[in-house]
A and B are shown apart, each in its own frame.
Chain A
Amino acid sequence: MSLYHYIVPALLGWFCLTACSGDSGKQEQQQGTGPSVPAGLDDATEMKFKQYWTHGRRLYKQHCIGCHQNDGSGLAQLIPPLAGADFLENRERVICIIKHGQQGEVVVNGITYDGVMPASPQLQALDIAEIATYILNAWGNEGGFVSVQQADSILNTCPEKQ
């Protein structure tokens, strides 16, 4: 029996696998560039920042990603972006929105949105501090660290509370 009896089918199998695999083996891209660590944090705070950011990313995937998208880009003029959004400079409002939702017009980077973002009453101050730390420092944003104490005191001042 010739060696070819074995080699040919083996090669043939290999050939087909490689020839046909085409686009099916597309790698899922790892999204995001990691945190932009704020300058001037002491070691302990920097550790905390990284923890918040990582937890915040997980919470973002649970609560926000369906609308604001993995890359924070939002969608057309229906959902405002978080990546590169000038709105995030208003940290107090951002924190209140995460808890209480938002409707009516908002202007983000010069575009007026008029949608409805649902409230997330189940989120606690720590969750909100983590989500805020994540969105303020993901996708190239550099918005600084939000501690649970800050989130807690801001949440007490939200107009929705009154």
Chain B
Amino acid sequence: MNKSVLLMLLVLGAFACSEQKQPKDELPVYGETITTETDTTYHTIGNFAFYNQDSVLITDETVAGKVYVADFIFTTCPSICIPMAKEMLRVYDKYGNNSDFMILSHSIDPDYDTVPVLKEYASRLGVADSSNWHFLTGGETDVFTLGEKRYFVTAQKNEKAPGGVLHSGAFILIDGRGRIRGVYDGTDPAEVDKLMLDIDKLLN
């Protein structure tokens, strides 16, 4: 009797826990989802075009089929950008060599953060040349609209906020089909640990 109870416990215990360890698609899909009888359409990031720190044009086609993390920064930011950069460096250290993965850091001060400024910033952070971490500026896309309407984060110029910009510290996880699969506080190491677990789920 004792043995069978123990066995049952083990089996049930393992079963109860397995919920947390399912393979990929248990991550939510953010934004409006429209389900018809034949089809489900999800909110996606859609078209964009920016230049990276090497003046290479980066568009939605560049990221198609890749898992990527997006954030919104500016190089003269006096407050949360340093903790964000520190956390993003951890992500970069882990996935920087993975060709199925990218990081897109969008400057929300594109007037100041020109390509050479971003190049200097990236190299001071220790980001290798032509790596998969892109610092984005310029281009045709309005970064504020992109941030608010497609990534659902606050990214606004605001003369009263410190540094003149209202700014979210979010890291946003996007899957290979352009769908938002997670939003994390990029200044909080525990949240970024969670992000990395979720990246693993999407990559596997």
A residues sitting closer than 8 Å to B (CB atoms) are: 4, 8, 11-12, 15-16, 19-20, 23, 26, 66-67, 69, 75-79, 116, 118
Contacts and interface: CB of A to CB of B under 8 A. Distances in A.
Main secondary structure of the interface of A (DSSP, over half): helix
B128 interface: no
Nearest to A68: B82
A106 B182 CA distance: 40
15 contacts: A4-B5, A11-B9, A15-B13, A19-B16, A20-B17, A20-B20, A23-B193, A66-B78, A67-B78, A69-B83, A75-B125, A76-B85, A78-B85, A79-B82, A116-B76
Given A16-B16, A26-B190, A78-B125, A8 B9 contact: yes
Nearest to B127: A76
Given A16-B16, A76-B125, 17 more contacts: A4-B5, A8-B5, A8-B9, A12-B9, A12-B16, A15-B13, A19-B13, A19-B17, A20-B17, A26-B190, A66-B82, A69-B86, A75-B82, A76-B89, A76-B126, A78-B82, A116-B76
Nearest to A16: B16
B57 interface: no
Interface residues of B, number: 25
B203 interface: no
Contacts of B89: 76
Nearest to A2: B1
B64 interface: no
A16 B13 CA distance: 6
B17 A16 contact: yes
Contacts of A67: 78, 82
Interface in B46-93: 76, 78-80, 82-83, 85-86, 89
